[in-house]
Amino acid sequence: MAELVAGGKGVIEAILRRRSLAPRKLVAPGPDASQLELLISAAAAAPDHGRLHPVRFVQIADAGRATLAQLFRQAASQMEPQAGPELADREAEKAHHAPCLLAVVARIDDANPVAPAHEQWISVGAAVQNVLLAAEDLGFRAMIVSGRKVQSRLLQAAFAPTGSEHLVGFVAIGTPTAEPSPRDRHPGSLAHWSGT
Ligand SMILES: Cc1cc2nc3c(=O)[nH]c(=O)nc-3n(C[C@H](O)[C@H](O)[C@H](O)COP(=O)(O)O)c2cc1C
């Protein structure tokens, strides 16, 4: 593997090296406006059958953090009513983590004649991965997070109000304050098919 990486253009190494870091461990500075533009361009470079652009990103402005915290609190209580106020507090706190927080909103056209829904979801995932990789290339760490609260009607209505869209989660990006903990990667899966 090491020789293969050495023969590559750095992309493989970046992919293999990429690690998520919890949003609470990400601090300022985050990406500036031109870096953010680059990240969104990286997202737009993902494979996209039929050019449907099935994903958009919404940056949470600093001014919106308090409202997001309130939404996280209410959504957590709605989704896990048996949990106490500690959970709601913890979820609310997450709205203040990471200097750059991007809501990921997917628009999947179930009736598209060219690209079925699963292909569009693949595009969404590839776009997110491109953002994560590009963020690391710029010297940041990043992570996509969701949690049960994201499935709440409240959060869905806030970020995907038309009903034809779906809030997937949030990409947090920032400067790392810690190293990600070691993690064994799954080796992946490759079989061979010879026609029988
Ligand atoms: C759509 C999506 C949502 C995720 N939501 C969470 C989450 O809420 N909390 C969490 O700990 N990990 C979540 N993960 C997994 C992490 O983003 C991350 O991939 C995982 O911790 C593995 O770490 P690594 O990226 O360094 O391999 C999510 C992944 C995806 C694709």
The tens digit of pLDDT for each residue in 120-152 reads 999 999 999 999 999 999 999 999 999 999 999
Sequence ranges of the domains in the chain: 20-61+97-176
pLDDT of 22 reads: 98
193 CA distance to ligand 1 middle (Å) = 31
**Rounded CA gap, 88 and 77, in Å?**
6
pTM over 0.85: yes
pLDDT of 193 reads: 98
Choosing from 145, 150, 152, 171 the residue with most ligand 1 atoms within 8 A of its CB, the one to mutate for a pocket test is 145
87 CA distance to ligand 1 middle (Å) = 19
Q: Which regions of the chain are under pLDDT 70? A: 1-5
Q: How far is CA 185 from CA 18, 30, 139, 182, 188, in A?
A: 11, 27, 22, 10, 8
pLDDT of 39 reads: 98
Any idea which fold 20-61+97-176 has? Answer: NADH Oxidase (3.40.109)
Cβ neighbour number for residue 60 with a 10 Å cutoff: 18
